[in-house]
Structure 1
Amino acid sequence: MNEKTASVHWEGQGKKGQGQISTETEALKAYPYGFASRFEDDRRGTNPEEILGAAHAACFTMAFSFACDAAGFTTALVDTEARVRLIPEGDGFVIDRIALTLKASVPGIDETRFQEIALDAKNGCPLSKALASVAEISLQATLVQSAT
């Protein structure tokens, strides 16, 4: 079917090592990451949780827009944020929560139908399914009025 590729090059040991993340489309090309950008406040690089959050938000947003289309509604705008929490567990770490926040303008939809479509999209998007081992994937969905 459809297969995408990403790669990582790493040099050095543990906390002192540095990696570079690249994607097939070159959206990321040798983009830096390491201990400081993952566990400290170094914003010169990225980290796996941030990339996972971006992927989940993108997948959910598309699933929501497609579901609205299928239900006869047109999305005017959709903004999604994903907050991914990494916590210590035993000798390692675990992602225990992903909080999705959706704000969307969908002319003609009522609040009840909007919430139903949003929840179905969250549960049905491929990334939500792939992340089923995450203890909590929450959704806060807000229907906003069009600026017209």
Structure 2
Amino acid sequence: MKRYAKAVWHGSGKDGSGHLTTQSEALEKNNYSFTSRFTSTAGTNPEELLAAAHAGCFTMKLSFVLDEAGYYPERLETTAYISFENGAITASRLFVAGIVKGISLVDFEACVLEAKVDCPVSMALNIAITTEASLTD
């Protein structure tokens, strides 16, 4: 399986702008720029997209890990925070909350750690990855 995304940019790094389109067209000419990357201006940025990819991939992997351990996840919600420091992406922090009947927090945390290690996006990143897990009713 191969997937692609396309970036188009016009102008200089600070004053220019561009757009991103994905193969599935889930993103279709979504705007990005210096200001959408470094301020709160409308538009997306690479760090936000990486956070979405990491949260999505990790959460799906966690659902497989829980299933293999004999648990049914009613709901999993992961928030990924990507750190961008001194011109480099340096870390990803994953906060996951789950509704999983019959699982202890210790077992849930073990599944979270397994998913973190085996998540394809985690494996592609050469940065520090941390997790924090909680169970809700």
What is the distance in 2 between the residues matched to 1:74 and 1:59? 18
Please provide the CA RMSD for this pair.
Answer: 0.7
Note the alpha carbon deviations across 1:8-27, whole angstroms, 9 max, x for none: 11111121111100001111
Question: Could you state the TM-score of these two structures normalised by the residue count of structure 2?
Answer: 0.98
Equivalent runs, 1:68-79 vs 2, <5 Å: 68-79=66-77
Q: Which runs of 4+ in 1 moved over 2 A?
A: none
Alignment length, in residue pairs? 137
CA distance in 2, matches of 1:111, 1:85: 27
TM-score by length of 1: 0.90
**Unaligned regions of 5+ residues in structure 1, if any?**
none
How far residue 111 of structure 1 moved from its aligned partner, in angstroms, is 1.5
Secondary structure, counterpart of 1:14 in structure 2: coil
Shift of 1:112: 1.4
Q: Which amino acid aligns with 2:16?
A: G
Structure 2: runs of 5+ lacking an equivalent: none
Q: Which amino acid aligns with 1:126?
A: P
- Residue 59 of structure 2 aligns to a residue whose secondary structure is helix
Alignment of 1:1-148 (within 5 A): 2-42=1-41, 44-88=42-86, 93-131=87-125, 133-134=126-127, 136-145=128-137
Question: What SS class does the counterpart of residue 40 from structure 2 fall into?
Answer: coil
Q: Over residues 55-82 of structure 1, what are the superposed CA-to-partner deviations in whole Å (9 max), with x where a residue is unaligned? A: 0000000000011111110000000000
Q: Percent identity?
A: 40
Amino acid at match of 2:4: T
